[in-house]
Chain A
């Protein structure tokens, strides 16, 4: 069985390009060119140089000694939090900005929830001198003022999405509408492995550097390039897609994707998509999404803005349905506790998104000696207010 995209843009039953005709030429232009461009020698050279000297790759694979002692397994943290701008998001925006340049685009648009992808996009636009417009839900703009200021300082225009629930899903709708209205000179940098084909595959390829490095680093540190478990959090699923990528065909590596249960999967305030969702179409691809019986998209909830999305990427839906990946969920409170624990045992304050993956360690049973890699997708600076409120710091 293949866990990767086929030539029609599908992962098993999921994927495709469910887009209005107005977007067809843009998406088709990408589809016809993305593999040629990203496999091109000059592109690879430039991409790798930027990842090394600008992003700061390779990111370390850190053996977390005290955390390992606590859980009785060898726990390695893939330190995406040490990347420039503080998360894995930059791997994808560096790749897409170079691709946009090769396609001759002059203007970049993006959607953002908490602002991490918006900042990563505004950063590469500043780096390459391209116009940048970021759509962000009106509600999120109010909640994430520091990231809004960062984007503005980087020269981006931040446009409030005022439709619907005024959060990430609506920001994505607005970015798509912008693209419909500007079909020729604009490239849309989607921040996750969602959207119409070829986005899920393209973003996963740019993020696959995470598992590519992890394999080499594991071999150096453990003598084996395969761990027993790989864990990552999933909102749309881009860090998980990158963390899983080179392990997907190693069937003895267990892939664990951690969704946000919010206040509990059955509380009505959750973002546990595989548990609560059904198959359907959202933002251009067939996948699993949270929706009413009538097919209206339901508003998710998570304390972590990066996991607050009602769908998952089509490759994740496929890994879930074929049972190649195990999809689990962690509540707001469990994730915050795990964030505090990592901080106190290892001196690393994780993003609350990444803390969801860490929290699942608590629920696993180890015989001892297993090698476990957790993707530490981002750092917790942006979440200090939430941590402070929760722990009365």
Chain B
């Protein structure tokens, strides 16, 4: 059982996950940010490895990815930075990024490296279920990695069941049909969608992401799920002036006072 699976076994409510882009705001900030987030109460982290053409992302994460790439961030450098990860950070870590970067690194090598540095799983939004099942699932399992699938308001119940069957940590419920960074308007349609999925009594816990930006949307998401993921709003906060760790503490206090 990896750290992520353990977390969901022991904690079933108010799980807070934060996404940030590796190499942003500065190339060497990756571990500093992870430590600060753990200290201020994050339950698990998603570290994004940047890609030149992130189609599922809105302007904030596109911009942070570009800054990181311009600074020279690559997967080999990220794995180097994460070499001491488990000496400093205890909470579960996911890597999140697009499939082409993983393919060029080599899927087997990527999974092996993840295990070596203590990464617990991945979110690869443009890796389809069919390809995962046919080509990659065995490799992920060999290295004890969890692959996290997304579900959207348009995903059919049948497909959600299939995703539930392929998942072994949690299901990432995308709050609305949108790219990252648009604000969650908790409307009747979104709450009925959250309820619909909650009522399916899936074997995996649900975590809601996309559009979670503040205390109110975090609380709203937690009504229907085991937790929520904040990405763009946190990346935006990192862009403000001030000391990195202080910005992180300040942001986290707003979410979890």
The answer to whether B100 touches A183, judged by C-beta atoms less than 8 angstroms apart, is no
Given A180-B178, A280-B100, A295-B100, is A17 in contact with B56 using a C-beta cutoff of 8 Å? Answer: no
Q: Contact partner of A295 among B103, B130, B156, CB < 8 A?
A: B103
B175 → A minimal CB distance (Å): 11
> How far is B104's CA from A181's CA once the two chains are assembled, in angstroms?
29
Residues from chain A with a CB closer than 8 A to the CB of B131 are 16, 18
The answer to whether A180 touches B100, judged by C-beta atoms less than 8 angstroms apart, is no
Kindly specify which of B38-46, B121-129, B216-224 makes contact with the partner chain. B121-129
Residues from chain A with a CB closer than 8 A to the CB of B99 are 18, 281
The answer to whether A177 touches B149, judged by C-beta atoms less than 8 angstroms apart, is no
Given A8-B130, A173-B55, is A280 in contact with B151 using a C-beta cutoff of 8 Å? Answer: no
Of all chain A residues, the one with the shortest Cβ separation from B56 is A20
The answer to whether A294 touches B75, judged by C-beta atoms less than 8 angstroms apart, is yes
- The number of chain B residues with a CB under 8 A from chain A is 41
The answer to whether B100 touches A281, judged by C-beta atoms less than 8 angstroms apart, is yes
> How far is B100's CA from A169's CA once the two chains are assembled, in angstroms?
15
Q: Contact partner of B55 among A16, A176, A182, CB < 8 A?
A: A176
Residues from chain B with a CB closer than 8 A to the CB of A18 are 99, 126-128, 131
Q: In the complex, which residues 29-62 of chain B have their Cβ closer than 8 Å to any Cβ of chain A? A: 51-56, 58-59, 62
> How far is B52's CA from A282's CA once the two chains are assembled, in angstroms?
10
The answer to whether A181 touches B178, judged by C-beta atoms less than 8 angstroms apart, is yes
- Binary interface profile of A, 292-327, with partner B (CB < 8 Å = 1, else 0)? 011111000000000000000000000000000000
- Binary interface profile of A, 273-293, with partner B (CB < 8 Å = 1, else 0)? 000001111111000010101
Closest 5 CB pairs of A and B: A295-B104, A295-B101, A25-B154, A21-B150, A20-B125
A interface residues, Cβ below 8 angstroms from B: 8, 16-22, 24-25, 163-164, 169-170, 173, 176-177, 180-184, 278-284, 289, 291, 293-297
Residues from chain A with a CB closer than 8 A to the CB of B212 are none
- Binary interface profile of B, 126-139, with partner A (CB < 8 Å = 1, else 0)? 11101100000000
Tally the A-B contacts, defined by beta carbons under 8 Å. Answer: 112
B interface residues, Cβ below 8 angstroms from A: 51-56, 58-59, 62, 66, 69, 74-76, 98-105, 125-128, 130-131, 149-152, 154-156, 159, 174, 177-179, 182
B204 → A minimal CB distance (Å): 15
The answer to whether B66 touches A294, judged by C-beta atoms less than 8 angstroms apart, is no
A393 → B minimal CB distance (Å): 38
Q: Contact partner of B150 among A22, A282, A289, A295, CB < 8 A?
A: A22
> How far is B120's CA from A149's CA once the two chains are assembled, in angstroms?
52
> How far is B149's CA from A24's CA once the two chains are assembled, in angstroms?
12
Given A18-B131, A25-B154, A183-B177, is A294 in contact with B53 using a C-beta cutoff of 8 Å? Answer: no
Residues from chain A with a CB closer than 8 A to the CB of B150 are 20-22
> How far is B130's CA from A184's CA once the two chains are assembled, in angstroms?
23
The answer to whether A22 touches B177, judged by C-beta atoms less than 8 angstroms apart, is yes
Residues from chain B with a CB closer than 8 A to the CB of A164 are 52-53, 62, 66
The answer to whether A16 touches B128, judged by C-beta atoms less than 8 angstroms apart, is yes
Of all chain A residues, the one with the shortest Cβ separation from B131 is A16
Given A177-B179, A180-B56, is A21 in contact with B100 using a C-beta cutoff of 8 Å? Answer: no
The answer to whether A180 touches B104, judged by C-beta atoms less than 8 angstroms apart, is no
Q: A18-B128, A164-B53, A281-B98 are in contact. List 15 more A-B contacts (CB 8 A).
A: A16-B131, A19-B126, A20-B125, A21-B125, A22-B177, A24-B128, A24-B152, A25-B152, A163-B59, A173-B53, A176-B55, A181-B177, A281-B100, A283-B55, A295-B102
Interface-centre pick from B56, B125, B151 (highest chain A CB count, 10 A): B56
Residues from chain B with a CB closer than 8 A to the CB of A22 are 56, 150, 152, 154, 174, 177-179
> How far is B51's CA from A283's CA once the two chains are assembled, in angstroms?
13
A91 → B minimal CB distance (Å): 27
A173 → B minimal CB distance (Å): 5
Interface-centre pick from A169, A289, A291 (highest chain B CB count, 10 A): A291
Residues from chain A with a CB closer than 8 A to the CB of B182 are 181
Residues from chain B with a CB closer than 8 A to the CB of A289 are 100
B197 → A minimal CB distance (Å): 13
> How far is B74's CA from A169's CA once the two chains are assembled, in angstroms?
21
> How far is B154's CA from A50's CA once the two chains are assembled, in angstroms?
34
Residues from chain A with a CB closer than 8 A to the CB of B125 are 20-21
> How far is B130's CA from A16's CA once the two chains are assembled, in angstroms?
9
Given A282-B53, A294-B104, A295-B101, is A20 in contact with B155 using a C-beta cutoff of 8 Å? Answer: no
Given A163-B62, A173-B53, is A180 in contact with B126 using a C-beta cutoff of 8 Å? Answer: no
B61 → A minimal CB distance (Å): 11
